[in-house]
């Protein structure tokens, strides 16, 4: 038993306008969900925002990352961020907005570990004092690194996958 009926096949002409509109809409959707982040670094202050896998912070300069802002255009991606702050322990930020400072500024406090939870598939990694880059971890709310060794975070990269 296969299909014994008939069907009509209609060829539609290629529409450059439709294709262009589809590509534009797809690009707008991707940019709408683009993840951005901005680092506050010891002796530097706020750096320019970066996006989707670019580095925020510094490497090779022994400067601590003290604060971070994580954002998307629609504000729906980031569900929760937890950071282990020098002298304070774990601090939780639920649904941080684009102006939410995760960590501190002006207090000379290092960040030792971070947990990021997002509603979409994202990964992140951090650059640690004397250790270099960690492997990529999922943004699923689990620790990126052990905070007990008190090695400061110096840079971060976050990307959509």
**Rounded Cα–Cα distance for residues 4 and 44 (Å):** 73
| Residue 108: pLDDT over 80 | yes
| Residue 64 contacts residue 110 (beta carbons within 8 Å) | yes
Q: What is the pTM of this model?
A: 0.78
CA distances from 93 to 80, 84, 85, 114 (A): 6, 12, 13, 11
How many Cβ atoms sit within 10 Å of the Cβ of residue 138? 15
41-80 pLDDT, tens digit each: 999 999 999 999 999 999 999 999 999 999 887 667 889 9
Gyration radius of the chain over CA positions? 21
Q: Which residues pair with 128 in a beta bridge?
A: 132, 153
């Amino acid at each position: 038993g296969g299909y014994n009926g008939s069907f009509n096949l209609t060829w539609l002409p290629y529409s450059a306008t439709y294709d262009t509109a589809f590509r534009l809409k797809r690009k707008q959707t991707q940019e709408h969900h683009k993840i951005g982040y901005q680092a506050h670094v010891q002796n530097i202050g706020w750096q320019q925002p970066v996006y989707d896998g670019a580095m925020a912070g510094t490497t090779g300069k022994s400067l601590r990352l003290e604060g971070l802002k994580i954002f998307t255009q629609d504000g729906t991606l980031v569900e929760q961020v937890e950071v282990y702050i020098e002298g304070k322990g774990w601090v939780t930020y639920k649904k941080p907005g684009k102006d939410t400072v995760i960590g501190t500024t002006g207090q000379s406090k290092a960040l030792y570990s971070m947990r990021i939870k997002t509603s979409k598939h994202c990964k992140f990694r951090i650059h640690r004092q004397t250790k270099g880059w960690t492997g990529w971890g999922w943004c699923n709310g689990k620790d990126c690194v052990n905070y007990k060794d008190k090695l400061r975070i110096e840079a971060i990269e976050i990307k959509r996958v």
